[in-house]
């Protein structure tokens, strides 16, 4: 089949990789340059969790991605994931921590908040009466390195990638207009991140683009620290990064934004992050070394939305974000191939509109 992929973030690149390997004639288009920092996929790192507390569907998806992450590492000739371990924590009775314990089937790894301080030699501090769960199958993805690897590898699989080429909105059929010229395809996959509703306005009520800011924080004596996912109002998440800085973000804090007009990171963002660094990372300087802004594309229930357009069933919306999509990237190509074949797996079905009711409403998913 002749397939167009609109958007070459981590989702679009993964889809181009798989479909070209499967023998389809694939063309990928992105409005920006290869390693741009305007969307959702840029930055040095992302959190990987093989047993995400978001539910069985995501555990199955993560497990499906594990082998392919290894295959990508083989092709890349380097590790793309640093398995640091992680701490999932929250107030006593946190449904997220409970889900992590239940889904991991490792109740013994559940600990109390006051055990964290000695466990991390005072680098991480949590309220003594909180619940926490030590998760070994957690780590840090080298996000930009993964994008660079795919940008090199995907053309070798036979796909044609076009950067600096904006697909005209809206998309109403499998004929696209790019720079005023039209091109026809057998199928179109819209993996346009925060711009999805500009291209497919029918989903405006189901997807919202949100601004998020992350910061990198220094400490005098860096040491190996785990990934952190905290079930509190802000949805604090953190991960160790290369050069010994610790990166912190707030999953649930940030305004709705137009992806074409996003406010730059500023002192207000720094202050919001510093407050949590002072509480949770007592040995880190609460003043960020640097900040970066990024986009979430969020559904009301924070589950992924992968479903055909009502206007044309050969046009697929592929929105796997809500701030927790990167870790599943290698599977995205498989899900797209299932759609092309008309053979959806349980996972793909779960992300469609038809089965929406069956999915848990994710109480504040984590990164
Ligand atoms: C701050 C932050 C922290 C995160 N942390 C984690 C984490 O720890 N773990 C995790 O698993 N996930 C995490 N995520 C989520 C993850 O990064 C995203 O789910 C993922 O990057 C989404 O990728 P995407 O390809 O769908 O979107 P994008 O990377 O935004 O790609 C969409 C692309 O479409 C292009 N495009 C849009 N419109 C057009 C058009 N008209 N024509 C051509 N091209 C177009 C854009 O230029 C863009 O390149 C985080 C996200 C953020 C923002």
Q: How far is the CA of 10 from the centre of ligand 1 (A)?
A: 7
Q: Does 235 lie in the same domain as 164?
A: no
Residue to probe by mutation, ligand 1, list 8, 9, 51, most atoms within 8 Å of CB: 9
Q: Does 130 lie in the same domain as 243?
A: yes
* Half-sphere exposure of residue 166: CA atoms within 13 angstroms, side-chain side: 10
Query: In the structure, which protein residues have their CB atom closer than 6 angstroms to any atom of ligand 1?
Result: 6-12, 29-32, 38-41, 46-47, 166-167, 169, 191-195, 199, 212, 214, 249, 294-296, 321, 323-327, 367
In angstroms, the CA 217 to CA 208 distance is: 29
**Residue 189 included in any domain:** yes
Low-confidence ranges of the chain (pLDDT < 50): 358, 360-361, 363-364
Note the pLDDT of residue 365: 55
CATH code for position 130: 3.30.9.10
Q: Does 202 lie in the same domain as 229?
A: no
pTM above 0.75, yes or no: yes
Q: Indicate which atom in ligand 1 lies nearest the CA of residue 325.
A: 19
Q: Does 214 lie in the same domain as 286?
A: yes
Note the pLDDT of residue 109: 75
| The total number of structural domains that make up the chain | 2
Looking at 247, 268, 298, the residue that finishes a domain is: 298
Q: How far is the CA of 309 from the centre of ligand 1 (A)?
A: 20
Q: Does 274 lie in the same domain as 197?
A: no
Q: Does 196 lie in the same domain as 133?
A: no
Q: Does 262 lie in the same domain as 136?
A: yes
> Residues near 315 by Cβ (< 8 Å), separated by ≥ 6?
171, 173, 174, 187, 188, 190, 200, 308, 309
- In three-state secondary structure terms, 182 is strand
| β-pairing verdict for 81-82 and 45-49 | unpaired
List the beta bridge partners of residue 178. Answer: 167, 181
Q: Does 137 lie in the same domain as 147?
A: no
Note the pLDDT of residue 355: 57
Note the pLDDT of residue 118: 86
Q: Indicate which atom in ligand 1 lies nearest the CA of residue 319.
A: 26
List the beta bridge partners of residue 261. Answer: 258
| DSSP letter (8 states) at residue 24 | -
Complete DSSP assignment for 105-170:
T-GGGEEEGGGHHHHTTTS----TT-EEEEESSEEEEEHHHHHHHHHHHHHHTT-EEEES-PBPSP
**Residue 337 included in any domain:** yes
Q: Does 91 lie in the same domain as 221?
A: yes
Structural domain containing residue 127: 76-141+208-298
Q: Does 136 lie in the same domain as 23?
A: no
Q: Does 192 lie in the same domain as 324?
A: yes
CB 104 within 8 A of CB 98: no
**Residue 236 included in any domain:** yes
In angstroms, the CA 98 to CA 83 distance is: 22
Strands (E), the chain: 2-6, 25-30, 45-49, 81-82, 86-90, 110-112, 131-135, 138-142, 160-163, 175-178, 181-184, 187-190, 208-217, 227-230, 236-240, 246-250, 290-298, 305-308, 315-319
Note the pLDDT of residue 220: 87
**Residue 104 included in any domain:** yes
């Amino acid at each position: 089949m002749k397939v167009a992929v609109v958007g070459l973030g981590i989702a679009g690149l993964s889809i181009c990789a798989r479909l070209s390997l499967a023998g389809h004639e694939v063309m990928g288009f992105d409005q920006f340059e290869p390693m741009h920092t305007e969307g959702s996929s840029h930055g040095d790192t992302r959190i990987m969790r093989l047993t995400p507390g978001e539910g069985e569907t995501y555990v199955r998806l993560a497990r499906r991605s594990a082998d392919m992450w290894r295959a990508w590492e083989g092709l890349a000739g380097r590790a793309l994931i640093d398995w640091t371990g992680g701490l999932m924590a929250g107030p006593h009775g946190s449904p997220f921590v409970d889900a992590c314990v239940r889904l991991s089937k490792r109740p013994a790894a559940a600990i109390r908040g006051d055990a964290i301080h000695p466990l991390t030699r005072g680098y991480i501090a949590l309220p003594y009466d909180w619940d926490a769960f030590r998760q070994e199958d957690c780590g840090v993805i080298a996000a930009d390195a993964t994008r660079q690897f795919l940008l090199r590898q995907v053309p070798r699989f036979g796909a044609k990638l076009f950067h600096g080429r904006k697909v005209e909105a809206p998309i109403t059929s499998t004929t696209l207009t790019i720079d005023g010229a039209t091109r026809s395809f057998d199928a179109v996959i819209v993996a346009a991140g925060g711009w999805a509703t500009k291209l497919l306005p029918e989903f405006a009520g189901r997807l919202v683009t949100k601004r998020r800011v992350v910061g990198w924080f220094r400490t005098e004596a860096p040491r190996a620290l785990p990934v952190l996912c905290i079930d509190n109002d802000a949805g604090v998440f953190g991960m160790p990064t290369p050069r010994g800085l610790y990166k912190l973000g707030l999953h649930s804090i940030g305004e709705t934004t137009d992806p074409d007009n996003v406010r730059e990171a500023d002192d207000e963002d720094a202050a919001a992050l510093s407050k949590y660094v002072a509480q949770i990372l007592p040995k880190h300087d609460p003043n960020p070394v640097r900040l970066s802004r990024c986009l979430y594309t969020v559904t009301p229930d924070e589950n992924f939305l992968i479903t055909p357009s009502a206007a044309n069933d050969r046009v697929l919306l592929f929105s796997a974000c809500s701030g927790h999509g990167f870790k599943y990237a290698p599977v995205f190509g498989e899900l797209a191939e299932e759609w092309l074949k008309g053979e959806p797996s349980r996972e793909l079905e779960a992300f469609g509109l038809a089965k929406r009711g069956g999915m848990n409403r994710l109480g504040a998913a984590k990164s």
